[in-house]
Every structure is written in C-alpha cells, then in structure tokens.
Amino acid sequence: MKKVKTIKIDVDKCNGCRACEVICSAFHSNPRYSSNNPARSRIRMVRDPLRDVYLPVYAGEYTAAECMGRDKYVLDGKEYSECDFCRASCPSRGFFKEPDSGLPLKCDMCEDEPTGKPLCVQWCLNNALTYEEREEEVEEDEKPGDAETGLEALVNKYGLEKIKDTVERFGHKQDIKT
C-alpha cells in the first residue's frame, strides 16, 4: 500500500490573497523562513481580478518541451487557457522555476513539516485548499516512475553538476545517481 496525498482546490473560495505563495516560499527558503519570494513558491496564483479569476495551481513535473496546441476552457462564464491549469515547469512561462538557477520547482507536500499538513492548506483562511490522504495498492515490478524519468530529463538539460550544486545549496544533500 502507498499513501496518496491530495490537495483539493475550491476556486470559488479563493480570493487571490496569495498567503499560500508566501508561506510556501518562506518554508522552502534556506535557512528555513529566512525570506519569502512568491517566485520560489510551489503553488502559484493565476490571478486576473478584472475577470474575477483566482486559480491556485501546484507545481508538478518538469517538461523539456512546450505544448504545440493549447485549448481554451469556459467555466462559469470565465475563459481559461489550457496553460492556466497546467502544473508543469515548462519553457513557455515563468512559473515553477527557481529564480537564481532556473531549475524547476515541484510541490513536495511540505514533507518535513512537523504537523504533517501542507502549510499552504494551513495558511488558506478561506478554506479554498483541503488536504486529503488515502491508501492505494501498489503493483510490484512497476515501470520507472515519474520522478525517475523527470530526473533523467533534468540531467540531460542542465547537467548533473548543476543539479547537485542546487540540491546542496537548498540543504537537501543527497546522492544523485545516473
């Protein structure tokens, strides 16, 4: 069995206050809580007050190439582009990139946080974010996971040394093998 962690987003409750971006970037600064910069946040707001659009989006996987076509969606009379919902760290936009190195950012569900509950959820006073956990059965002999294939793409693009340097700089020292 594996534990699956989910954050449910209720866009109707989000008012675009950006507290989630602030706490996420502060938690991931080094030393922890030493600064905050929404550009370092693993959750970003797609925000257009004139159209009453407030859409929180979590950083997901890195992608080396942007999409060729992009659909548009109309929900409750508001138009969104496909990119608005996309979680990828992608070459076509600035979201989910570490500002100094340009390396991709990904939500880690605040894995070292002592309460075990994601900080963006704790700081969202409008209850737009809800944390849920469930157990799922895992089949043996799985194919290489997303994390493995994502790491390979990163090493190909940035080089192993740059990735190692960045990981060490952020205080998460670990062995990276290719």
Rounded distance, CA 121 to CA 102, Å? Answer: 26
Q: How far is the CB of 107 from ligand SF4 (least distance, A)?
A: 3
Whole-number Cα distances in Å, 154 to 20, 69, 113, 148, 160: 27, 23, 26, 10, 8
Token pair of 136, please?
């799922």
Q: How far is the CB of 8 from ligand SF4 (least distance, A)?
A: 11
Q: How far is the CB of 111 from ligand SF4 (least distance, A)?
A: 8
Asked if 14 and 56 count as a contact pair (C-beta separation under 8 A), the reply is yes
Identity at 89, one-letter amino acid code:
S
Using CB under 6 A, list all residues that contact ligand SF4: 14-20, 24, 27, 42-43, 45, 54, 56, 58, 107-110, 118-120, 123-124, 126, 128-129
Q: How far is the CB of 113 from ligand SF4 (least distance, A)?
A: 7
- Return the number of the residue (121 or 154) whose C-beta is nearest ligand SF4: 121
Q: How far is the CB of 85 from ligand SF4 (least distance, A)?
A: 15
Single out the residue of 13, 4, 1, 8 nearest to residue 127, CA to CA. Answer: 13
- Return the number of the residue (65 or 75) whose C-beta is nearest ligand SF4: 75
- Return the number of the residue (112 or 139) whose C-beta is nearest ligand SF4: 112
- Return the number of the residue (42 or 151) whose C-beta is nearest ligand SF4: 42
Beta-strand pair 43-48/78-81: unpaired
Identity at 59, one-letter amino acid code:
A
Q: What residues contact 2, with CB distance under 8 A and at least 6 apart?
A: 135, 136, 138
- Return the number of the residue (56 or 150) whose C-beta is nearest ligand SF4: 56
